[in-house]
Amino acid sequence: MRAARPRSLPGNAIVTPRERFVNTLLFRPVDRIPNMEIGLWPQTRERWLHEGMPKSVGCVLLAGDPYFQLDGAEGTALNAAGPLPPFEQRVLEETADYLVFVDQRGRTRQGLKVDGRYTSVCMDHYISFPVKDRRSFLNMRKRYEGNPGARYPAPAEWSAFAERSRRADTPFCLNNIWGDFGFYSMLRDWCGTEGVSCLFYDDPPLIHECLEFLEGYILRLYARALREACFDYIIIHEDLAGKGGPLIGPKLFREFILPHYKRYIRFLKAGGIPVVIVDTDGDFEALIPEFLEAGVDAFNPMEVAAGMDPVAMRRKYGKRFSMVGGVDKREIAKGRRAIDREVERLAPIVQEGGYIPWIDHTVPPDTSLADFQYYLERKRKVLAGE
């Protein structure tokens, strides 16, 4: 299928990459849609190196890559989500098959070893979390109460970044380009999914206290950045859903989290950020009304395997929000015919605007380099309206 040509700009207007990115996600005219991808599993990179990819290509593609001709973005080096000082990382148990350790966020994890070393071939098993009650919360909050400046890069590095953000053509993200701080994700990191789910019912005042603290903390942290630099978007990292639905229901979200989201997004918009993106895997559709009420503009990565198909979402919600992601990684691994079907399926909503297609997470190692390159070739034509 031949995609319709993108809406054109008047005259011979020159569009910068950052204008192209923002205009696409705000349903404004563009010369073409940005060509972006998130990244690769480490195992995928190893496979592709054997298949001819140059060693200069790393796992992070969202920063842009000349080999794959990908557009990129730049983010800050602020440490928004992690405790400061971090917890001491220490090994509690090690066998030939797995490693049990405390990470820098105070979580005890068990991870598999492959060929004698710990590597991310699957999700770790999380054993315990640092916040269980008000006493442990008060201990944790001490790691977030210090001078916000300690979370910024060195003065010379930050000054150079701020200057680039005002002059460069690249889209700039307030946090790192993968996303960072989020209200639910912080609670989950502190308490664990099961722990925070119980605390919503067992100790509601504690959850309110945690969220009030987190709101004040993040506003203090980002106030300087918004004064001194220029940003085009932010990614609020949440990961609050699985294939069966969200990990927090609309009622609890409205009671506990929505008020903080509203104030946070008002703060971001007043600071000059035009696009607010929420990052979450899984099926989060039940929470879309709450996110829209809060002022969220876009969602990522639109995980097709969990039912968040961008075509179906556009059909149901129209242009109430924009999307990034939504290319089914399972189809890209099946070869050229499947790739053709997937790209053609998404082409109409690409040309409607408000959508930047990329694989709905990092690329797993079942995809060959040749198939990924073919997918990019097919996608590039759609993005240009050919």
CATH number at residue 296: 3.20.20.210
Classify residue 7: in a domain, yes or no. no
**Domain match, 140 and 117 both:** no
**144 in the same domain as 55:** yes
- Which of 64, 98, 129 terminates a domain? The answer is 129
* Together in a domain, 282 and 190: yes
For residue 114, the model assigns a pLDDT of 81
The 3-state secondary structure of the chain reads CCCCCCCCCCCCCCCCHHHHHHHHHCCCCCCCCCCCCCEECHHHHHHHHHCCCCCCCCCECCCCECCCCECCCEECCCCCCCCCCCCCCEEEEECCCEEEEECCCCCEEEEEEECCEECCCCCCEEEECCCCCHHHHHHHHHHHCCCHHHHCCCHHHHHHHHHHHHHCCCCEECCCCCCCCCHHHHHHHHHCHHHHHHHHHHCHHHHHHHHHHHHHHHHHHHHHHHHHCCCCEEEEECCCEECCEECCCHHHHHHHHHHHHHHHHHHHHHCCCCEEEEECCCCCHHHHHHHHHHCCCEEECCCHHHCCCHHHHHHHHCCCCEEECCECHHHHCCCHHHHHHHHHHHHHHHHHCCEECCECCCECCCCCHHHHHHHHHHHHHHHCCC
| 144/269 same-domain check | yes
Residue 6 domain-assigned (yes or no): no
Percent of the chain residues past pLDDT 90, beyond the cut? 90
Domain count, the chain: 2
Instruction: Give the per-residue pLDDT at 8.
Output: 45
Q: Is the residue at 325 inside a domain? A: yes
Q: Are residues 338 and 379 in the same domain?
A: yes
Of 76, 110, 129, which residue sits at a domain end?
129
Average pLDDT of the segment spanning 133-144: 98
- Predicted confidence at residue 5, as pLDDT, reads 32
- Give me the pLDDT at residue 14, please: 65
Q: What is the pLDDT of residues 112-136, one digit of tens each?
A: 988 788 876 678 999 999 999 999 9
Domain that holds residue 115: 88-129
Q: Are residues 260 and 299 in the same domain?
A: yes
Same domain, 180 and 231: yes
Domain assignment of residue 3, yes or no: no
Q: What is the pLDDT of residues 81-98, one digit of tens each?
A: 999 999 999 999 999 999
45 assigned to some structural domain: yes
Mean pLDDT of 231-246: 96
157 plus 198 within the same structural domain? yes
Each residue's pLDDT tens digit, 317-358: 999 999 999 999 999 999 999 999 999 999 999 999 999 999
Answer whether residue 2 is part of any domain. Answer: no
pLDDT of 9 over the 70 cut? no
pLDDT band per the 50, 70, 90 thresholds, residue 177: confident
Do 104 and 163 have their domain in common? no
User: Is the pLDDT reported for residue 13 higher than 70?
Assistant: no
Does residue 307 lie in a domain region? yes
* 10 has a pLDDT exceeding 60: no
* Residue 158 sits in the same domain as residue 302: yes
On whether both 205 and 277 belong to a single domain, the answer is: yes
Tell me whether residue 281 is in a domain.
yes
**What pLDDT does 120 receive?**
64
User: Do 73 and 108 belong together in one domain?
Assistant: no
Mean pLDDT of the chain: 94
Average pLDDT over residues 272-283: 97
pTM given for the model? 0.94
Residue 3 pLDDT: 33
Stretch 94-111: mean pLDDT: 95
Of 129, 158, 181, the one marking the end of a domain is 129
pLDDT score at 205:
98
